């Protein structure tokens, strides 16, 4: 049997003569991609399954997103995860595989993260082992992912980390827009490169959109572009229960069988699994405040066509909220529904200056984009006014 892994295919770009005076300039590039594989040989080959850093949830080399509302103690939860994996202890009753951990702290001051680690370790009855948990405290030094992730990859390769935790992930965005599918796709591709290049599992947090999350499907509760909920290999969603400081934990897993939902309760300084609580008892909005969420077709019906004046049929976020209010729809559902339709290609978004965004039907956004690109050409410039004759004074 031939080996499954073959030499990568290298595609060479033809050289462009240095004295070429016309035609497009082609930059030389190299593309190293895995070869095509025969399915019969592929399925007959022995492919080693990486260890599960968190048993039943996360393989080494895969990505985990922890989603929850603002101030729901996601950082405490991730620090608890770091301590559990670095010592081989359980995390939320999930067994872990002991491995070295890198925790990249982008938000907490040094004294705060020290206090939290000491408190969790004491409550769990575990000892922080030398060489097993590495911290990189970057409060006040945060930068975009284009700068930080290559640095992390370069340093992490030599340390053999089994898990890398980035907290909080929004600090990596830089100038990127969390509501832009393309911006978030680039961020997540960079995070995937970190996992592939280091071989470590990757965990980071994402926050919920505003409003009551119980009315949405678990994977739709995360704020910003829908790409957040489609890219990771594992998602753990923490949604508030009717009881204060208690949450339902739901899992969305790509490489492992689904886990049944369960409840947890905050008992300083860590969460404890609450077997006596019902994970289906989600916190509900107050009576009288429940508003309908439009269907995809109802949302698309808000957008019109005008090929001659496409700008008149593109809607800003404020205009969308006004239309939602006029129909009695839940305005807090606007960003998530818009992003889902953009990701599916049923709507499109125009990104203008100063982070302005306009949404419309794809053909109208394309027409407006074309108009904007041609606006400053000679053909589009207004004709110069004819010079006026000056009157001579007598």
Arithmetic mean of pLDDT over the chain? 83
pLDDT digits (tens, 9 = 90+) for 98-140: 999 999 999 999 999 999 999 999 999 999 999 999 999 999 9
pLDDT digits (tens, 9 = 90+) for 279-325: 999 887 665 556 788 998 999 999 999 999 999 999 998 999 999 98
DSSP states along 292-351: B---HHHHHTT----TTSGGGG-B-HHHHHHHHHHTTB-GGGHHHHHHHHHHTTSSEEEE
The domain limits of the chain are 52-273, 296-375
Q: pLDDT: is 2 or 243 the higher one?
A: 243
Report whether CATH 3.40.50.300 matches the domain 52-273.
yes
Whether 215 and 282 have beta carbons less than 8 Å apart is answered as: no
Between the ranges 184-188, 224-228, 241-245, where is the mean pLDDT highest? 241-245
**Rounded to two decimals, what is the model's pTM?**
0.65
Mention every residue, 6+ apart, whose C-beta is less than 8 A from residue 82.
Answer: 101, 103, 133, 163, 165
Nearest to 194 by CA among 54, 46, 63, 41: 63
Whether 241 and 281 have beta carbons less than 8 Å apart is answered as: yes
Find residue 236's DSSP bridge partners.
Answer: 66, 251
pLDDT digits (tens, 9 = 90+) for 348-387: 999 887 777 899 999 999 999 998 888 755 444 444 444 4
Tell the burial category of 243 from Cβ atoms under 10 Å away from its Cβ (0-12, 13-18, 19+): middle
Report whether CATH 2.60.40 matches the domain 296-375.
no
pLDDT digits (tens, 9 = 90+) for 168-225: 888 898 888 877 878 888 898 999 999 999 999 999 988 755 445 455 554 555 554 4
Share of the chain above pLDDT 90, in %: 55
Same CATH fold assignment for domains 52-273 and 296-375: no
Nearest to 371 by CA among 394, 357, 352, 343: 352
């Amino acid at each position: 049997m031939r080996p499954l892994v073959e030499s990568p295919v290298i595609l060479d770009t033809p050289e462009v003569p240095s004295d070429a005076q016309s035609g497009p300039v082609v930059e030389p590039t190299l593309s190293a991609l895995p070869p095509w594989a025969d399915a019969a040989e592929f399925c007959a080959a022995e492919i080693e399954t990486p260890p599960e850093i968190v048993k039943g949830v996360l393989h080494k080399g895969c990505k985990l997103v922890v989603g929850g509302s603002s101030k729901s103690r996601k950082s405490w939860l991730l620090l608890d995860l770091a301590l559990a994996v670095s010592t081989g202890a359980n995390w939320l009753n999930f067994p872990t595989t002991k491995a070295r951990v890198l925790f990249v702290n982008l938000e907490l001051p040094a004294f705060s993260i020290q206090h939290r680690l000491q408190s969790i370790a004491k409550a769990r009855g575990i000892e922080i082992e030398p060489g097993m948990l590495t911290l990189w405290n970057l409060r006040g030094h945060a930068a975009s992912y284009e700068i930080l992730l290559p640095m992390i990859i370069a340093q992490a390769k030599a340390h053999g980390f089994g898990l890398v935790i980035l907290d909080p992930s929004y600090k990596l965005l830089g100038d990127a827009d969390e509501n832009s599918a393309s911006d978030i796709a680039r961020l997540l591709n960079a995070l995937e490169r970190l996992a592939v290049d280091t071989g470590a599992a990757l965990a980071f947090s994402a926050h919920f959109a505003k409003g009551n999350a119980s009315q949405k499907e678990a994977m739709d509760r995360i704020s910003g572009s829908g790409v957040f909920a489609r890219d990771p290999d594992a998602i753990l969603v923490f949604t508030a229960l009717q009881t204060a400081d208690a949450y339902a934990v739901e899992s969305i897993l790509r490489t492992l069988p689904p886990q049944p939902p369960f409840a947890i309760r905050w008992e300083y300084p860590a969460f404890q699994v609450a077997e006596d609580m019902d994970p289906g008892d989600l916190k509900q909005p107050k009576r009288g405040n429940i508003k309908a969420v439009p269907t995809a077709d109802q949302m698309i019906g808000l957008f019109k066509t005008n090929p001659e004046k496409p700008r008149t049929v593109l809607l800003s976020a404020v205009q969308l909220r006004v239309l939602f209010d006029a129909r009695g729809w839940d305005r807090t559902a606007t960003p998530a529904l818009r992003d889902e339709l953009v990701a599916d290609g049923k709507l499109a978004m125009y990104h203008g200056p100063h982070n302005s965004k306009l949404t419309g039907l794809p053909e109208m956004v394309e027409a407006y984009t074309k108009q904007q690109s041609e606006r400053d050409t000679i053909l589009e410039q207004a004709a110069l006014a004819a010079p006026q004759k000056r009157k001579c004074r007598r």
